[in-house]
Amino acid sequence: GIQVEQSPPDLILQEGANSTLRCNFSDSVNNLQWFHQNPWGQLINLFYIPSGTKQNGRLSATTVATERYSLLYISSSQTTDSGVYFCAVDDFNKFYFGSGTKLNVKP
């Protein structure tokens, strides 16, 4: 299967700081998604981004499919951004998840 690696595994930020999360994948993929799981376990789809750049408020994501990586940018972080960020890719039939980046934004 496809290997998905996320970095860093843990990240602590002061509120207002910016950060970049990275997702590397080992093979060509159909699609790539970023998810946020809040501290209460709820999971939200952030971006569906097989290539290019998308922005949604303070979050943006860039996927460079030819180089097999994606980046998630968080600007002006807030405490509500805390949680785990997962990257997932699919090969038309199955999803493969990274192990996540655990983000803690401190007030």
Partner 1 sequence: GAGVSQSPSNKVTEKGKDVELRCDPISGHTALYWYRQSLGQGLEFLIYFQGNSAPDKSGLPSDRFSAERTGGSVSTLTIQRTQQEDSAVYLCASSLASLYSNQPQHFGDGTRLSIL
Burial class (CB in 10 A: 0-12, 13-18, 19+), 3: exposed
Q: Pick the stretch among 18-26, 27-35, 59-67, 72-80 that binds partner 1 (CB under 8 A).
A: 27-35
User: Residue 71 carries which side chain, given as an amino acid letter?
Assistant: L
Closest separation in Å from C-beta 37 to partner 1:
8
Assign 3-state DSSP to the chain and report helix, strand, coil percentages, each to 5.
Answer: 5, 60, 35
Closest separation in Å from C-beta 7 to partner 1:
13
The binding site for partner 1 (CB under 8 A) comprises 30-31, 33, 35, 41-45, 48, 84, 86, 88, 90, 92-100
